[in-house]
Amino acid sequence: RMLSGYKPKNDVKDSYKVLELEEGCSLDDVRNSYHNLAKKYHPDSSSGMADSRAFIRVEEAYRVVLGDLAAKQKSDSGEEEEDQFKSKSLQHRHYLSFEGVGIGTPSQREKQYMQFRVDRATEQVLEYRQQRLESRYAGSDLSRAQDVRQSKKVKITQAVERLVEDLIQESMAKGDFDNLSGKGKPLQKFSHSPHIDPMTHNLNRILIDNGYQPEWILLQKEIRETIERLRKSIVASRRKLGEPMTLSEQKQWGRVCEQFAEDIRKLNKRVDNFNLVVPILSRQMVHFSTDKEILRARKTYEAVVEKGSDSGTKENGGEEGKRFGWKSSLLKWLKL
């Protein structure tokens, strides 16, 4: 029916009768009559008088009446009124619109409309997320974040400098600097290099002259002394036991190994603390292994035992040689 070559079969008088109107009525009357009849006969409406054939006749009559009114108005008001009539479109589905989405029965169009709403909501969510990401990673936000980090670094540096100054003033108030050698005498520069700060060099010299050592050096020395003491103690504990060990001695050796493992665990914690404060990466230490240290203690004990047995054998051989030396010399004299 919407094709351009379609020509309605009704004439003008019959069309007015179908629309229940009289000739000479206004354009608004024609529209109101058509809307009422469309609601009455439209197959998608819930009316009891719904009839598709009657609705087609009403629609054809409406088109004929519109054409007749347009022809009459054209002779009176010219082409502007004709364009006004031509621009009007059918609005018989305005009460079942669903935003103009879908085809078919009202239930089918409702399902299609719900799917359309879901798709539209998904697109809106994706657009919103894209806008948030773009705003988050915009250049202004990055520059603002860099400014915040830089300000935090400046605040931390200033706080550390204030803390060091407070500690120096506190030590001076306690008299910790009263017994320094060379007090009251001018400082002597022992480095004439222009690339070295004289104040820093003099401060380092004062600290060295008074026996100051950095924390990581003291901690490293303590770790080495502790591991040597533990190694000597476990070897000494093994030497106190017999060879081969009895059942009770094996239990005692097991308790010694458990205590040694606990001491190694505590020592490894000191190693972690040392690695946090050491300024040079190559000076960092690795953890001590309990199994390797116990195996090392056993090898040390076996070496000590073998050395003792060899020295005992040599001593016994020397005593026997002294005991039987005069007899062999007597036999040689008799033979001569």
pLDDT of residue 5: 45
304 and 236 inside one domain: yes
pLDDT of residue 93: 47
> Cα(38)–Cα(41) distance, rounded to whole angstroms?
5
288 and 220 inside one domain: yes
The verdict on residue 57 lying in a domain is yes
The verdict on residue 98 lying in a domain is no
| Residue 42, helix vs strand vs coil | coil
Q: Tell me the residue range of the domain where 259 lies.
A: 215-308
> Cα(267)–Cα(274) distance, rounded to whole angstroms?
11
> CA angle, corner 22, sides to 16 and 26, nearest 5?
95
- Please name the residue that has the structure tokens 């009251």: 184
226 and 289 inside one domain: yes
Q: What is the pLDDT of residues 297-315, one digit of tens each?
A: 888 888 888 876 666 555 5
Tell which residue, 77, 62, 79, has the closest CA to residue 15. Answer: 62
Looking at the predicted structure, is the pLDDT value of residue 217 above 80?
A: yes
The verdict on residue 43 lying in a domain is yes
Give phi and psi for 21, each to the nearest 5: -130, 170
Looking at the predicted structure, is the pLDDT value of residue 197 above 90?
A: no
The mean pLDDT of 19-39, rounded to a whole number, is 83
Q: 43, 74, 105: which is the final residue of a domain?
A: 74
Looking at the predicted structure, is the pLDDT value of residue 248 above 70?
A: yes
The verdict on residue 25 lying in a domain is yes
- Please name the residue that has the structure tokens 């009007």: 88
CA-to-CA separations, 27 to 8, 64, 67, 69, 83, in angstroms, rounded: 19, 13, 11, 8, 14
Tell which residue, 269, 271, 276, 303, has the closest CA to residue 286. Answer: 271
Listed ranges 87-101, 141-155, 278-292; the one with the highest mean pLDDT:
278-292
The verdict on residue 210 lying in a domain is no
Query: 291 or 11: whose pLDDT is higher?
Result: 291
Record the pTM: 0.36
Q: How confident is the model at residue 6 (pLDDT cuts 50, 70, 90)?
A: very low
* Spatial contact of 223 and 285, defined as CB atoms under 8 Å apart: yes
* Spatial contact of 256 and 239, defined as CB atoms under 8 Å apart: no
Q: How many domains does the chain have?
A: 3
pLDDT of residue 136: 72
pLDDT of residue 1: 41
Query: 211 or 324: whose pLDDT is higher?
Result: 211
